[in-house]
Structure 1
């Protein structure tokens, strides 16, 4: 597995915004009632990122299953072991930059992680610096160790 590499989001902001716009249009053509947000490291200037673009697709609980099925036709399902009645995950194969989606039921714990947490990071320079410190500590390291540390960061800072 390749070593992790991070760069400032400012460097990839244009590409990330274009990828977001393309995939937002694609999703809205099929699911006009969902909310689509650009989240993750590429959505906030000054944050270290691997360059992948994260989309957060939000829907009400009643529409979740239909939205999940529609996204399964548009994108490649990933992390199926983490799927549940309020969260599912997808990737856009061959996308450059890489694009991943999190579908969440509005108000769920995954909704908090993939949405509100990023809003809080964007609004708090201290959280940005702590997140960047985590990224710097894992630059060139193991993706598994980084993912474990990243989960802990979100758990420690955003659990309710």
Structure 2
């Protein structure tokens, strides 16, 4: 059983630097991709597990090539869902653990940048998310992930999320 732990502001500089490095590398190989720093490390002052998440958004016709490029850079996340419009990659071989989510624009999984934006514009949702994280400090990671999924399912119902393109 993996235990989850959170910190506030401890990883900010490392997370920002890692995103800049990976963004540069990704832009060189996937010049048409829309690349975003997502997840808690992209939201200043929030609790984070100390990892970095990147969303790489591509058109459907660019997806297979993007998969090949990302597979050459990162291990596939064997625990993540893999579909014709979504792939997940994960490595601990960087200064902080790194997750890369490849999504087809406007597909079912094209949500990560929207979640980030909603949390950035609404302090109340950020506070709720931090409270959720704090309640899982030192507990089972899978239990936290289930509660996190429920939180984001609820966030999808908000006017802020529904107004996102």
Normalised by the size of structure 2, how large is the TM-score?
A: 0.90
Q: What does residue 116 of structure 2 align with?
A: 118
Deviation of 1:57 after TM superposition, in Å, equals: 0.5
Q: Within 5 Å, give how 1:1-150 maps onto structure 2.
A: 1-8=1-8, 10-79=9-78, 82-112=81-111, 114-150=112-148
Deviation of 1:3 after TM superposition, in Å, equals: 2.1
Residue by residue, what CA displacement relative to the aligned partner does 1:66-110 show, whole Å, maximum 9, x if unpaired? 101110111100046511111100023411211110000011121
Greater share of helix residues, 1 or 2? 1
Secondary structure at the residue paired with 2:96? Answer: coil
Measure the CA separation in 2 of the matches of 1:156 and 1:140: 24
Asked if the contact 1:75–1:93 (Cα under 8 Å) also holds between the matched residues in 2, the reply is: no
Deviation of 1:16 after TM superposition, in Å, equals: 0.5
Q: Please list every run of 5 or more consecutive structure 1 residues that lacks an aligned counterpart in the other structure.
A: none
Measure the CA separation in 2 of the matches of 1:15 and 1:84: 31
Q: Please list every run of 5 or more consecutive structure 2 residues that lacks an aligned counterpart in the other structure.
A: none
Secondary structure at the residue paired with 1:111? Answer: coil
Normalised by the size of structure 1, how large is the TM-score?
A: 0.93
Query: Which 4+ runs in 1 deviate beyond 6 A?
Result: none
Asked if the contact 1:41–1:47 (Cα under 8 Å) also holds between the matched residues in 2, the reply is: yes
